[in-house]
Amino acid sequence: MKEFSSLQLKIQLSDAIEELGFEQLTPIQEKAYPAISSGRDMMGIAQTGTGKTLGYMLPLLQGLAYSEPTDPRILVLVPTRELVVQVVDNVNAYAKYLNVKTLGIYGGTNINTQKKAVAEGVDVLVATPGRLYDLIVHQSVSMKKCKKVVIDEVDVMLDLGFRFQLNNIFDHLPRKRQNIMISATMTDQIEAFIKSYFKDPQQISVAVSGERLENIEQVSYSVSNFYTKANLIAHLVEDKEEFKKVLVFVDSKRNVDRLFEALPSDLQKETVVIHSNKTQNYRLRSIESFNEGRSRIIISTDVMARGLDLENITHVINVNTPSYPENYIHRIGRTGRADKKGKAILLFTSKEEEYKTAIESLMEFKIPILDFPDAVEINHDLIPEEKPAKRESNNPHKKVEEERGAAFHEKKAKNQKTNQGGSYRREIAKKYKKPKTRGDKNFNRRKKK
């Protein structure tokens, strides 16, 4: 592996890298540096935790000439607000001794404040597609000087439905520019996007999805249902010496909350949760609490944890077995970083066993199944997703509606009255045998006849 000293970096950049304690380039950094420095479009396939951010920012900062900050010259697009904050912090650390102004913009905050910040000048703009598109529509940001564009975690962006915003952002960029795309997987959507906007990109691949990471020990448990999984997790993480920093993946926001509520109160005090229904400040505080060691366990969904720099994770626990095998590789890649040892635990039900088999087929590795601990209580309660759906006997494709509960009671007597048109209309009807209306000009004339 090459050392950073071999790259002949600017002295300011070299000093910052040395202060951060980086000595040797990771494989993605070693391959990306010459590719990006050449000015050619690049497509990088790399898993989380391989040093991608420094991989694309190092050559971009090295080639960035001094200039008073006005309009953005480098654009980095990421899928979530947490990643914006993280990338901005990283760029500021790399460019500590450079005269480079970095700004992060994302939704959920005051757009007028961000308009003012952009107007004050920026060199490196880190943004989520939705908020950047809003600023472009409001004509609050000009991308005419932006000649370097990075799309990080592009597979997540497309999964989140950002294709429309990405298309419109690219239509406002200069035609002559360098495009850099980073992804953990290659899909048909990504290939279509590359064909639309990239020109003969160089493709580099490091730790491609499906490659088993040798420094991560993998084990699994066969568990009957969700709440029994919660009991098993509570039992395992009691060992604080073994389970020092634990990342727990759950398939949905609702189940993240369910799992947290199912944990004993003493474990809840050591646990934080992250999903998109939590406020921005809460999520940032949760990440900070976990990284600084005030919290030992973090429960998250795939999208929210993707790409976040969660430090020194010793264990990754998969509460559900991902239906896409690649997602399992992404999840467990959060531990065992920087040549450290990590451990991944997979919990699967009988219905999820086929997903486990698909994962093992992709990795060409059989995940060992451990005996279920006798000390763990089997909980027979089922979450709604686990309950069997009732279906009509003559139409098995149609679900039978559940019986109405107590909310559907008989109306009170005062609410059982019917609308009879008002007392005035009823009294007039009795007297004249028909309703009298103000608009009937011929009413009196007909009466006279």
Residue 61 shares a structural domain with residue 198: yes
Give domain status of residue 434, yes or no: no
Residue 162 shares a structural domain with residue 248: no
**What's the pLDDT band for 147 if we cut at 50, 70, 90?**
very high
Residue 196 shares a structural domain with residue 227: no
pLDDT of residue 252: 87
Angle (CA) 425-427-430 rounded to 5° is 110
Domain boundary among 334, 353, 386: 386
Residue 61 shares a structural domain with residue 87: yes
Give domain status of residue 432, yes or no: no
Rounded mean pLDDT, 205-218: 70
Is residue 329 over pLDDT 90? no
Is residue 110 over pLDDT 70? yes
Residue 312 shares a structural domain with residue 345: yes
Q: Is the pTM of this model over 0.85?
A: no
Domain that holds residue 366: 216-386
Flag the least confident range among 106-110, 218-222, 313-317, 428-432.
428-432
Give domain status of residue 433, yes or no: no
- The CB density around residue 208, as the number of other CB atoms within 10 Å, is 14
Instruction: Classify strands 315-318 and 246-249 as parallel, antiparallel or unpaired.
Output: parallel
Is residue 235 over pLDDT 80? yes
Q: Tell me, what CATH number does 246's domain have?
A: 3.40.50.300
% of the chain surpassing 90 pLDDT? 52
| CB contact at 8 A, 91 and 54 | no
CA distances from 295 to 2, 173, 224, 331 (A): 36, 42, 29, 20
Rounded mean pLDDT, 134-138: 94
**What's the pLDDT band for 377 if we cut at 50, 70, 90?**
very high
Give domain status of residue 435, yes or no: no
Is residue 174 over pLDDT 70? yes
Beta strands in 301-340 (DSSP E): 315-318
Give domain status of residue 426, yes or no: no
Q: Residue 131 and residue 110: Cα distance in Å, rounded?
A: 11
**What's the pLDDT band for 133 if we cut at 50, 70, 90?**
very high
Which residue has better confidence, 115 or 27? 115
Residue 164 shares a structural domain with residue 292: no
Reference 296, options 230, 242, 243, 232; nearest CA is: 243
pLDDT of residue 387: 86
Is residue 320 over pLDDT 70? yes
- The CB density around residue 184, as the number of other CB atoms within 10 Å, is 25
Considering the chain, what is the average pLDDT of its residues? 85
Reference 376, options 336, 396, 347; nearest CA is: 347
Is residue 259 over pLDDT 90? yes
pLDDT of residue 372: 96
Domain boundary among 386, 405, 434: 386
pLDDT of residue 192: 85
Give domain status of residue 410, yes or no: no
Residue 35 shares a structural domain with residue 182: yes
Domain count, the chain: 2
Residue 311 shares a structural domain with residue 199: no
Residue 190 shares a structural domain with residue 301: no
Q: Residue 289 and residue 443: Cα distance in Å, rounded?
A: 80
Write b or e for each residue in 104-116: b if 16 or more Cβ atoms lie within 10 A of its Cβ, otherwise e.
Answer: bbbbeeeeeebbe
Residue 224 shares a structural domain with residue 341: yes
Give domain status of residue 429, yes or no: no
Flag the least confident range among 63-72, 216-225, 254-263, 298-307.
298-307
Give domain status of residue 418, yes or no: no
Domain boundary among 358, 386, 414: 386
Is residue 400 over pLDDT 60? no
Alpha helix stretches (DSSP H) within 206-268: 226-236, 253-262, 265-268
Residue 380 shares a structural domain with residue 235: yes
Reference 87, options 71, 76, 98; nearest CA is: 76
Residue 157 shares a structural domain with residue 130: yes
